[in-house]
Amino acid sequence: MASNSTPPTSDEGGGGGDMTDDERFMVACTYWFEGVLVPILGSVGIVGNVLSIMVLTLRNLDLKSSFINLICSLCVFDILFIVSVCMFFTLQIHSDYYRDELIPYLTPVLLPLIHIALTGSVYAVVAVAVERYFIICNPFNSSSQGKGIVYIVVLVVFSVAYNINKFFEVGIGYQEKQVAVWNETANETSMVNASKAVVRIMPLRNDPTYTKAVIILNFLFMVVAPLIILSVCHFLTFRKILEHTRLHNAISSHERRDNAMATLFFIIIAFFLLCHSGKFALNFYEIFTLFASNDAAEDADDGGDEDGEGDRWPLWTFLLTKINHLTLVINSSVNFFIYCFRDAKFYNALQSILGIKNCSPALNCLRSSSGGGSGESGDSGETVPMVHSVTARRSNDVSVSIRKSDEATTDKNGNGTINQV
């Protein structure tokens, strides 16, 4: 099914003057979703993820090393996913030469890379959720003290091992085709038979038992397991944050910073679930069809791969697949903007790297109204209620004046107040 990034057939590329309305609709969806929107949003996402890595690694944001390393890993997987999707889906829409000459050689590599990057991106989010759980709920556990190297090693090994079979699903085949060749002797173009490379579906992919096993495993490991782990970690972490909120003045600045990052990550999880909802729906439909229509699926397999796939999946699944490709790219692109909007330290560090001195007043106002970290900040970098700020000014005007003088000196040197942390 297309939700598993099946190589597009020649029917999707159009080329027939007698296409049906459904075929025209499929060609239009493919062009606008994968040929226009995916590369535009994907380009923004690549830039955003690169900037995120620069900010996280070049500036001190008062964050745990494990959290920084896992977020950087998420950015790397997102960049790999966007690049692979654009190379596999987008370029062949705009170039006949790329589709006919290069895609047969690139598909056996790009298809597994898409799945490895998607798996890595999904489980990087899961790993951050688990890491936040240990940091917030059990900070003295040994899992909370390292730099997240174990998380990253397990993440990379699992992502590759889980999708190693994708390297054996498609290969390179050759078939005889007529091509136009210029005949200098006759001074005319003549048609000759030539061997052309094509994408070959390997026997493993056509095995009904293998196909059923892949659908079941994909449902368990890419839908059920991430949802359960994210839900449990989210619930336990959020409950602990509520306890910390009631004891706000009794916890350290680093604990408040950890709580702020956990709250920011809740937003990332919400976008993750929203953008992956189409993929989840397709996987649910796959597993439902597998168990509800075994006989029909076997008949479709006996009738041939192309015709069986066309008869088995309705048109709405094709449309949802194209939308799903777009939303997955959006999910890989949006985290950078969440960091900027919800974390003032990240945004200030970004301004410092880009050489921007003054934040946009509109963004300041918007972040202030949403509690995104503007206003007076303590050592933790999170928003401090205004009543505490007023009390501090009234109780110790001298210390406030000295602190403001130090901040002014820092800004004059061009380092930014973020570098004081």
Task: Specify whether the CB–CB gap between 173 and 199 falls below 8 A.
Answer: yes
pLDDT tens digits for 351-380? Answer: 989 888 765 555 555 555 444 443 333 333
Q: Average pLDDT in the 21-42 region?
A: 94
Please count the CA atoms within 13 angstroms of the CA of 176 that sit on its side-chain side. 3
**Segment 72-100, tens digit of pLDDT:** 999 999 999 999 999 999 999 999 999 99
Residues 390 and 315 in one domain: no
Q: What is the pLDDT of residues 257-274, one digit of tens each?
A: 666 777 787 888 889 999
Domain final position from 342, 368, 402: 342
Section 317-323 average pLDDT: 93
What is the span of the domain harbouring residue 413? 349-420
CB atoms < 10 A from the CB of 133, how many?
22
pLDDT at 109: 96
Q: How far apart are CA 48 and CA 73, in angstroms?
A: 14
H/E/C letters for each residue in 166-221? HHHCEEEEEEEEEEEEEECCCCEEEEEEEEEEEEEECHHHHCHHHHHHHHHHHHHH
Of 200 and 387, more confident: 200
DSSP per position, 66-126: HHHHHHHHHHHHHHHHHHHHIIIIIHHHH-HHIIIIIHHHHHHHHHHHHHHHHHHHHHHHH
- Residue that is last in its domain, among 342, 366, 386: 342
* Nearest alpha-carbon partner for 339 in 329, 353, 352, 349: 349
**pLDDT score of 201 more than 70:** yes
Residue 211 and residue 360 share a domain: no
First to last CA, the chain: 50
CATH code of the domain containing 234? 1.20.1070.10
Give the residue with greater pLDDT, 124 vs 193: 124
Phi, psi of 179 (to 5 degrees): -125, 150
Instruction: Identify whether residues 45 and 6 lie together within a single domain.
Output: yes
At residue 298, the pLDDT reads 52
More confident residue, 234 or 298: 234
Q: Domain total for the chain?
A: 2
Q: Are residues 358 and 260 in the same domain?
A: no
Residue 400 parent element (H or E): helix 397-413
As a whole number, the mean pLDDT across the chain is 77
Instruction: Tell me which range, 104-108, 204-208, 287-291, 372-376, is most confidently predicted by mean pLDDT.
Output: 104-108
pLDDT tens for each residue of 335-357: 999 988 888 888 899 998 988 87
DSSP, collapsed to helix, strand or coil, labels residue 147 as coil
243 and 361 co-located in one domain: no
Model pLDDT for residues 140-191, shown as the tens digit of each residue:
665 545 577 888 999 999 999 999 999 999 999 988 887 777 777 777 777 7
pLDDT at 307 over 60: no
Q: Do residues 161 and 58 both lie within one domain?
A: yes
What DSSP line would sit under 260-324, residue for residue? Answer: HHHHHHHHHHHHHHHHTHHHHHHHHHHHHHHHH-HHHHHHHHHT-HHHHHHHHS-HHHHHHHHHH
Q: How many residues does the chain have?
A: 421
Of 310, 342, 374, the position where a domain reaches its end is 342
214/361 same-domain check: no
Return the closest-CA partner of residue 148 out of 166, 158, 138, 134: 134
